[in-house]
Structure formats: structure tokens, C-alpha cells
Amino acid sequence: MHEQKPVIGFSCGDINGIGIELIIKVLADSRILEICTPVVFANNKVINFYRKSLPDININFSSVKDSTKINHKQVNLFNCWEEEVAITPGVMNETGGKYAILSLTTAAEALKAGKIDGLITLPIHKKNIQSAEFNFTGHTPYLKQLFGGSDVVMLMIAENMRVGLLTEHLPVKEIAQFITRDSIISKLQVIHQSLKKDFGITKPKIAVLGLNPHAGDEGLIGKEEIDIIKPSIKEAKQKDIFCFGPYSADAFFARGQHEKFDAVLAIYHDQGLIPFKSLSLGEGVNYTAGMKAVRTSPDHGTAFDIAGKGIADETSTRQALFSCIDIINNRKEFISQRNNPMRKMSSAVVANAVDERITEE
């Protein structure tokens, strides 16, 4: 970790999508340099191409080819390639995928080597990134393999909710076979630890959704809740994980129950992502929980339909940056408290005193 402000890397995403436009819009705010040192992993010509479509935005980059020469007073551009590349906004092609992965792998290696403190990944398209060298369905499985570790969770975070996924990018017909007691307990353990270490929550409370409509209606609409999910929750509780469920997904979100928990474990992609994106009001962030390094991402895709038009909304990308910095700082605080138990005790004393004062008033 860098002693002062963190160094945050940005992979550019598909060069024909909205990723570079979003980076330019977010980093054009000079106040960002007060809280971090940005490093964009892309190419001068690609950046200049999209900068021309944003005439009202003034931003300068300091080009670097050596991570030890990063300028902490400017936005840095790490040139990942030198060759001429055809940029065709809005078109999904092999070129867009090739250079998205070149940016991602260069940035991820810098993260692994400790040359940057956190990483924001801009959107890639799962179809055109596939190659003999990169055979992953997205950022999360690639980063999991690169950084190792037993498990990670795709955790969607916003001010009013956090939703983790048991299964990610799978055909719906294959979901049930991946619902096992071991996988549920593993994901709950990752979320539990992340809530403590990354979000500063001392005693996390986690909800678990059911697979079937009405959480199976006591076995009338599927047996997964009875045979797998309920026993998993019971076992997780024995491991000191404060978790409850399974809940019927439709009623759970419709009644605002997600606000009573620190996180929710959804069973499959759309079960968690549809309510999350509907309720997070465009400020959602995708976070890879359980990884040694900190990586966040905006909660949307490449948006080819508006690429190059200068109209993409940078809110989620900005929030991904803020979340990345917050998590880095929370981890530092977590480590500090573990190394200095008296500091944690004093914090608890202060918190109790405040609670008592509020009660008296």
C-alpha cells in the first residue's frame, strides 16, 4: 500500500464501448487527485479519440511506460500498446475484445505486483473476449484464478443494499446443479468476512434467498430449499455466521426486507441483479469479495448503442472509484484494529457511550 493516497488503476474495457468515455468524465474532476492517484491502462490514441467527442471536458494525462514513474499530481496513462488500432464505437468485434483484455491483464498484473492499490474494471463483452489465452466468462473468474484463494463472490453494493451471487453467468437450466451445501456455506463465509473487513461491520447479518417461487412453498414447488438451502443456513450458523432464510425473492425485495440485512445472498444472476439494479438508482457497484486485492466495477455493460455519442452516465463508475478507495481504507483500519486490540476496545467504549447518551436523551 502507498503511504499517502492510494494508486487506483483503470482497465479501459471494450474500446468500442463506453468505458473510456466514462473514465474521461470521472477523472476530469480535479478533486479526484486529492483522494487518489489514477492510472489508466490504455493507449494515447484511443484516449484522444474519445476525448474529441467530449469537447466540453478538459483533461490531461501524464503518459508513463514504467509504473515506478507514476506522477502523483496528475492522471497517469500507462500505454499498453503502441500499434494503430481501428476504433469503431458501437461495434462489437474482435478488436474491441482483444484490447480490452490487453488492458485488463496489464492492469491486473500491476495490481498483483502491488504497483497499484486498487483496480476499477470498465465493461467488457463476454462474447468477443474469448480466445485461447483468455477463456473466462468475465472479470470475476479471471481475477479469481489470477489471485488464487478458495472462493470469491460477485457482490453488488450500493448505499441501500448489498447483493451477492451464489451462481453467476450460467444458463438458467444449469443453475440447480450448482446449488450445493458446500457452495452456499463457502459464499456465506466470503460475504461474512468481507462485511467485517471491507465494510467495517462487526456483526454482519445476511439473508439467503430461495431458488424456487415462494421459496418452494414447503416442498410443493421444488425441494432445493428443504434439502439443500435450509441445512446450509443451519450449518453456517454453527460457524458463527449470522444468516437467515431462505426467503421468497419477490416478496423479500418488494417489502423492503433487504434493508434489514447487511447483505443478501441470491441464488442466481437475475434473481439478485434485477432488484439490485432497479433499487440502486444507477449508483450500483460490482465488487469482487474474497480477493486479496481490491477490484470494483460499474454495474452495467458496454452499452454499444450509445458508445461514442458522449451521453453515457458516469455515476456508477464514479461510485466504483469511491467504493474502491473506501474498501482500501477499511482494510487498513481492520488490520490496524487487529494489530492493536486496545484501539478496537476504545472504539467500542466510545460507541457504547454514544448509545447510552442517545438512550438517555
Architecture (CATH level 2) of domain 1-149+291-361: 3-Layer(aba) Sandwich (3.40)
Average pLDDT, integer, range 139-147: 93
- Would you list the domain boundaries of the chain? 1-149+291-361, 150-290
Average pLDDT score over residue span 334-358: 57
pLDDT at position 351: 42
Dig out the grid coordinates for 3 from the structure: 503511504
Give the pLDDT mean for 201-221: 94
Q: What is the mean pLDDT of residues 279-300?
A: 94
Q: What angle do CA 308, 74, 72 make, to 5 degrees?
A: 135
Which residue from 267, 273, 274 is spatially nearest to 248, judged by alpha carbons? 267
Q: Tell me, what's the pLDDT at 172?
A: 94
Predicted confidence (pLDDT) per residue in 160-204, tens digit? 899 999 999 899 999 999 999 999 999 999 999 999 999 999 999
Nearby residues of 246 by Cβ (< 8 Å), 6 or more positions away: 208, 209, 210, 211, 215, 216, 225, 229, 230, 233
Tell me the C-alpha distance between 95 and 315, whole Å: 27
Between the two ends of the chain, the Cα-to-Cα distance in Å is 43
Is residue 240 within 8 Å of 202, Cβ to Cβ? no
The pLDDT score that the predictor gives to residue 359 is: 34
pLDDT of residue 123 exceeding 80, the answer is yes
CA distance linking residue 38 with residue 41, whole number of Å: 10
Look up the pTM and report it. Answer: 0.89
CA 131/CA 138 separation, integer angstroms: 12
C-alpha cell at 80: 499498453
DSSP state of 70: -
Does position 358 have pLDDT exceeding 90, yes or no? no
Give the whole-number percent of the chain exceeding pLDDT 90.
82
% residues pLDDT > 70 (the chain): 93
Q: Is the pLDDT of residue 322 over 90?
A: yes
CA-closest candidate to residue 118, choices 287, 336, 315: 287
Residue 171: the pLDDT is 93
Query: Would you say 308 and 89 are in contact if contact means Cβ atoms under 8 Å apart?
Result: yes
Can you tell me the mean pLDDT for 219-236?
Answer: 95
Lowest mean per-residue pLDDT among 25-29, 62-66, 238-242: 62-66
**What radius of gyration do the chain's Cα atoms show?**
21
Instruction: From the options 1.10.150.120, 3.40.718.10, 3.30.70.3400, 3.40.50.300, give the CATH code of 150-290.
Output: 3.40.718.10
What pLDDT, on a 0 to 100 scale, did the predictor assign at position 237?
Answer: 97
What number of CA atoms fall less than 13 Å from residue 327's CA on the CB side?
29
- 266-275 as b/e, with b when 16 or more CB fall inside 10 Å? bbbbebbbeb
Indicate the pLDDT class of residue 339, thresholds 50, 70 and 90.
confident
Sign, CA torsion 25/74/140/214? negative
User: Is residue 216 scored above 90 in pLDDT?
Assistant: no
Does 247 have pLDDT greater than 70? yes
Torsion sign, CA atoms 307, 308, 309, 314:
positive
